[in-house]
Amino acid sequence: MIQGRFHMDDFSVYRPELTVPIADIISNAVQCGYPLETDEAYYRERGYETVAVERHLSMEEMAERALEPVAERCKREGIEIGEIWFAHTSQVAWHECNLFKTMLLRWGWEQVPLYPVEEHSCSTFHWFLHMAAYSFARDPDKAVLVVTADLGIHPFYYINDFILSGDSASACLLRREYGDHRTLAVKYKTAGKVYDNNPSRLRHFHATFYMSIRKIMQETLSEAGFTFSDIRLVVCGNTNRQIWETVAGSLRISPDMFYYATLNEAGHITNADIPSNLWRALADGALLPGDYYLTVTVGMAGTFGCALHQYVPTNRLGVPAKEEGKP
């Protein structure tokens, strides 16, 4: 398997300014017929307080808000894009290939290959990192642009029995030789046994997936010759607090190493969890130049992703002044 090193050179997140109390998210879903088996306290125990909800912009407009600062920099610095990948959880079906038509024209990318990829559950971010090595093996001189957008089209979108999801969009620029975040190792796995929908196997997965997260984190560090004592943070997805506390216990490391600072205010912003939390870690000084850190995601459909990175900022200012959409 190709595991070439590359960099996350830039990223941007659009998150709606509006945050809705989880009591309202639950109430809206129940009024539409959602068969709730828990209560508000259940979600609060897992770290949720409010959820980011977009009331005005379309999914295309959200994607453009996230993409704009990255695209402007590419234009300004002459960074050539080799491929654009797009992922979403919203149902846009037949017109998804045309989703970027106006943006491609705006930035002069009409000839750049655009790939709307299948949603890889909540570990899509690490699927992108896993596949990037192949893209750079083909053409190391061109960047890969990753764009995501997730917009709820029904109250059921925002809730399930495990998590509360919010709206968001993100853009991430990957380059072979340049960038503030050097990616040293990537692991991505799928638990195929989940997809046969066998009830007993599903129960077994939900009882044991914590150990799969533990294993993929250990394998990622081992591949690079690292241990947990070498890293500063584990930047993870906003699945829920209980998951990461359980994993920390299984690894015998402090739960404080697991960083998901946007969980309580935004909810699980599916494809933007990692860039959003990474952005916050940089803004808050939780990551410093030279620090090594892990990113990790898990999807309840049986996907797991983990990567080892090092923060190696260049002279270019690496942290935007604010998250788009935030006051």
What's the number of domains the chain is made of? 2
Between vectors from CA 190 to CA 239 and to CA 8, what angle results, nearest 5°?
65
Structure tokens at 175: 């380059």
**139 lies in a domain?**
yes
Domain interval for residue 249? 181-311
325 is a domain residue: no
Answer yes or no: do 210 and 287 share one domain. yes
Q: What residues contact 281, with CB distance under 8 A and at least 6 apart?
A: 233, 235, 259, 261, 287, 293
DSSP code at position 49: S
Question: What are the pLDDT digits (tens) for 158-206?
Answer: 998 889 999 999 999 999 999 999 999 999 998 766 666 677 877 777 7
Could you report the per-residue pLDDT of 16-51, keeping only the tens digit for each?
999 999 999 999 999 999 999 899 999 999 999 999
What's the whole-model pTM score?
A: 0.90
Q: Shortest CA distance to 90 belongs to which of 61, 70, 126, 68?
A: 61
User: Are both 147 and 283 inside the same structural domain?
Assistant: no
The last residue of one of the domains, among 123, 145, 175, is 175
Residue 242's pLDDT band (cuts 50, 70, 90): very high
Look at residue 101 and give its three-state secondary structure.
helix
Q: 100 and 33 in one domain? A: yes
Mean pLDDT of 13-18: 95
The DSSP call for residue 272 is T
User: 137 and 243 share a domain?
Assistant: no
Of 153, 175, 197, the residue at which a domain comes to its end is: 175
Confidence grade of residue 93 (pLDDT, cut at 50, 70, 90): low
What does the buried/exposed string (b/e) look like for 121-157 if buried means 16 or more CB atoms within 10 Å of the residue's CB? bbbbbbbbbbbbbebbeeeeebbbbbbbbbbbeebeb
What does the alpha-carbon distance between residue 3 and residue 282 come to, in Å, rounded to a whole number?
26
Classify residue 324: in a domain, yes or no: no
Residue 186: inside a domain, yes or no? Answer: yes
306 and 254 in one domain?
yes
Shared domain check, 189 and 149: no
Structural domain contains residue 271: yes
Answer yes or no: do 155 and 243 share one domain: no
* CA separation for the pair 317, 251 (Å, rounded): 35
State the pLDDT at residue 266: 96
- Same domain, yes or no, for 108 and 159? yes
Per-position b or e across 277-306, b if 16+ CB within 10 A of its CB: bbbbbbeeebbeeebbbbbbbbbbebbbbb
Q: Give the pairing type, strands 292-299 and 233-236.
A: parallel
Based on the fold, state whether residues 80 and 100 are members of the same structural domain. Answer: yes
- Asked whether residue 94 carries a pLDDT value surpassing 70, the answer given is no
Is the pLDDT higher at 163 or at 207? 163
- Quote the pLDDT of residue 196: 64
Lowest mean pLDDT among 41-45, 88-92, 238-242, 303-307: 88-92
Q: Model confidence over 290-313: pLDDT tens digits?
A: 999 999 999 877 889 999 999 999
| Residues 169 and 192 grouped into a single domain | no
* pLDDT of 34: 92
What's the confidence (pLDDT) of residue 322? 39
Residue 3 — pLDDT band, cuts 50, 70, 90?
Answer: very low
For residue 317, is it within any domain? no
**Pair 9, 183: CB distance under 8 Å:** no
For residue 11, the tally of other CB atoms under 10 A from its CB is: 25
The residue with tokens 């290939």 is 97
Chain centre distance of CA 62: 16
Judge whether 233 and 259 are in contact, CB under 8 Å: yes
Helix ranges restricted to H, the chain: 22-31, 40-45, 59-77, 101-107, 124-138, 199-223, 241-251, 263-266, 273-283
- Residue 291 within a domain: yes
Task: State yes or no: pLDDT of 122 exceeds 90.
Answer: no
Q: What percent of the chain has pLDDT over 90?
A: 71
The pLDDT score that the predictor gives to residue 195 is 60
Instruction: Print the SS3 string covering 201-235.
Output: HHHHHHHHHHHHHHHHHHHHHHHCCCCHHHCCEEE
Largest CA distance in the chain: 55
Cβ neighbours around 49 below 10 Å, total: 15
Domain with 76 in it: what CATH number?
3.40.47.10
In a shared domain, residues 189 and 304: yes
Same domain, 260 and 200: yes
Interval 137-163 mean pLDDT: 92
**Which domain-ending residue is among 175, 206, 231?**
175
| 319 assigned to some structural domain | no
91: confidence class by pLDDT, cuts 50, 70, 90: low
Average pLDDT, the chain: 88
Sign of CA dihedral 267, 97, 124, 290: negative
